[in-house]
Chain A
């Protein structure tokens, strides 16, 4: 893949394959995926159904070890998890026994950061995601959108260079989802990070992405890469270019009933 000066590759995957042994069969989930993530870009990994995407993200985050393939962070090979990669989870993995503040500073606490410092850092990100005033609320007292904000703040505290967001808005209703999509873009602009955003929603992908990597249905393979920079920002959901691109991607997507 050609590399121009602006686009520094920060993370690259080479021939990643992952499969699981279920009873007497090998069930492939990800097959031979190679991709590059550029510094500070908003990359969306788009794929139908419930297959492969989360596995691929778990591989990047080091939760799973792939059967084959290598991953490189800034040119050096890494294995397992790396503190430079943070993650916002699909199922709002907030700890119900911790307050908003407790959840946000969880990563810092594990890293052994002193209390004062971690309070300060956490507060900064709580403010960033606009949850000021809810520091001492428990997750069950928050709405779905607010919970996701906590998840985002938690991922930010460890100051990762790459932020993986694994279908973070899958469980939200459409209206909240639109609002959160705009929030994510705002936060991303204020605190520039490389974002790898996973979704099965084509509209969401086209609305957010600098680049879209389209995956096939089970097992996940890279089907096509779309560059969305001509679309500009902010984007309008009813703009004809937007609709055209959306249709194009939609026609190219596998149907996962």
Chain B
């Protein structure tokens, strides 16, 4: 087993009763890599995510982190869900602490990380607010902060910017890139926005329709910051679009 891979996914397969959702998906992720996953609507991206987060157990295959079977209790998995997932009864600061308190980190370590995250995201003024007092995008940034603050072995993001406008989206995408570089986290980012995938990823994984398999892996070797109208960018974006439309 080569040590340079942080995460190894081997032969992941899932049936719900007779419904075959995921078919023999294998891939590896290097430590500190930013991987995007795209696919057509209803291709089982959610199932895929739920298998990686261990909310569902696979019918066949396994997920290994550092060569061990992944276990949320042992490993450090963080997920940014699509829906708002800040605890409405906790303040911004307490939301940021939530995951680390579950992991029972030392108090001063939590304090340090929370402080750092608040500074990184520029959330000082919101510390004692509750999520419902914030805008959608700020609430989502807190969730992303909560996930990065965990310094996870693997960070999964499920279309965190689903319905936001492009301006906001670019801003938040740049913020994620910044956090990712700062923290050196391994990220799997699921989206159906191909532009977003190409903008963010070092590697794009294209899934097929149900039962989902890996159709192709596309390496994106464009220096950052990337420009969406750059011909190289448009070429890759077109290619990925073709691969999905092909069905």
Chains A and B touch (C-beta atoms under 8 A apart): yes
In the complex, chain B residues whose CB is within 8 Å of the CB of A110: none
In the complex, chain B residues whose CB is within 8 Å of the CB of A173: 41, 162, 192
Q: Mark B137-164, 1 if CB is under 8 A from A, else 0.
A: 1100100000000000000000000110
B229–A257 CB distance below 8 A? no
A48–B229 CB distance below 8 A? no
A238 within 8 A of B: yes
Q: Which of chain A's residues has its CB closest to B134's CB?
A: A257
In the complex, chain A residues whose CB is within 8 Å of the CB of B228: 243, 247
Determine which residue in B41, B138, B167, B193 has the highest number of CB atoms from chain A within 10 A of its CB, and name it.
B167
A238–B166 CB distance below 8 A? no
What's the dominant secondary structure at chain B's contact region?
A: helix
Within the assembled complex, what's the spacing in Å between the Cα atoms of A49 and B171?
Answer: 14
B167–A203 CB distance below 8 A? no
In the complex, chain B residues whose CB is within 8 Å of the CB of A200: 165
In the complex, chain A residues whose CB is within 8 Å of the CB of B241: 238
Known interface pairs A244-B229, A247-B228, A257-B138. Does A202 touch B166 (Cβ–Cβ under 8 Å)?
yes
Q: Which of B137, B166, B234 contacts A250 (CB 8 A)?
A: B166
In the complex, chain B residues whose CB is within 8 Å of the CB of A48: 165, 167-168
Tally of contact residues, B, Cβ under 8 A: 22
Q: Mark B33-48, 1 if CB is under 8 A from A, else 0.
A: 0000000110000000
B59 within 8 A of A: no
In the complex, chain A residues whose CB is within 8 Å of the CB of B229: 240, 243-244, 247
Q: Which of A18-58 contact B (CB under 8 A)?
A: 48-50
Question: What would 4 more interface pairs be, CB under 8 Å, given A174-B192, A238-B234, A253-B165?
Answer: A173-B41, A203-B166, A257-B135, A257-B171
Interface pairs (21), CB distance under 8 Å: A50-B135, A174-B192, A175-B40, A200-B165, A201-B165, A201-B166, A202-B167, A203-B166, A240-B234, A243-B228, A243-B229, A250-B166, A255-B167, A255-B168, A256-B135, A256-B137, A256-B168, A257-B135, A257-B137, A257-B138, A257-B141
Residues of A that sit less than 8 Å from B by CB: 48-50, 170-171, 173-176, 200-203, 238, 240, 243-244, 246-247, 250, 253, 255-257
Residues of B that sit less than 8 Å from A by CB: 40-41, 135, 137-138, 141, 162-163, 165-168, 170-171, 192-193, 228-229, 234, 237-238, 241
